[in-house]
Amino acid sequence: MHYTIFKTPVINTVMRWISIVVLRLIGWRLDGRAADVQKGVLIGAPHTSNWDFPIALMICFALRLDVYWMGKHTLFPPILGAIMRWLGGIPVDRTQAGNLVQGTIDAFQHNDKLLVIVPPEGTRGKVTRWKTGFYYIAVGAGVPLGLGYLDFKEKIGGVGKLFYPSGNIEEDMREIRAFYAGFVGKHPQQFDSGNG
């Protein structure tokens, strides 16, 4: 995987303290109950606003998470793309979805430590069904799902639980959806916890 800001010791430490201060000033609290995972797929939900990105990035710094995150390929134009990659971004071309799942599984097999954030909604807009690539990556790589969240109502975010998928997607998704049912996104009307 490519080199990121999270692997830059001095900048990472400075960003951690800046993030802690800013989050405290804007009233956000951290949930690090399951933040000690070294290898896994982190679900990023609800994803309803552009504000999700800076808040989530600050939470990652504050919790000392060394993460990569998936975003649509249009977020990675020539110059801005280099910055987005340095911030941990992995461009996703949705027309190549199958290759992305297998490519991510392969990356897990070749790295001792790897955390990848995947927003299951795939967009900030209203969706009625979550995309399931995050689940198949975790199953294929044999890694847990970190149930990461941002609750704009309570102003709390982090990784609340580790979930080990069984391979029974219907049963597992019911449990995952139950975890997310009470969280409120920046634009609540756009969040559906995956029921569809």
SS3 sequence of the chain:
CCCCHHHCHHHHHHHHHHHHHHHHHCCCEEECCCCCCCEEEEEEECCCCCCHHHHHHHHHHHCCCCEEEEEEHHHCCHHHHHHHHHCCEEEECHHHHHHHHHHHHHHHHCCCCEEEEECCCCCCCCCCCCCCHHHHHHHHHCCCEEEEEEECCCCEEEEEEEECCCCCHHHHHHHHHHHHCCCCCCCHHHCCCCCC
Is the pLDDT confidence value at 173 over 70?
A: yes
Is the pLDDT confidence value at 192 over 70?
A: no
Give the per-residue pLDDT at 45. Answer: 87
The share of the chain scoring above pLDDT 90, in percent, equals: 60
Maximum average pLDDT range among 89-93, 150-154, 189-193: 150-154
pLDDT interval class at 74 (50, 70, 90): confident
Average pLDDT for the chain: 88
State pTM to two decimals. Answer: 0.86
Give the per-residue pLDDT at 196. Answer: 42
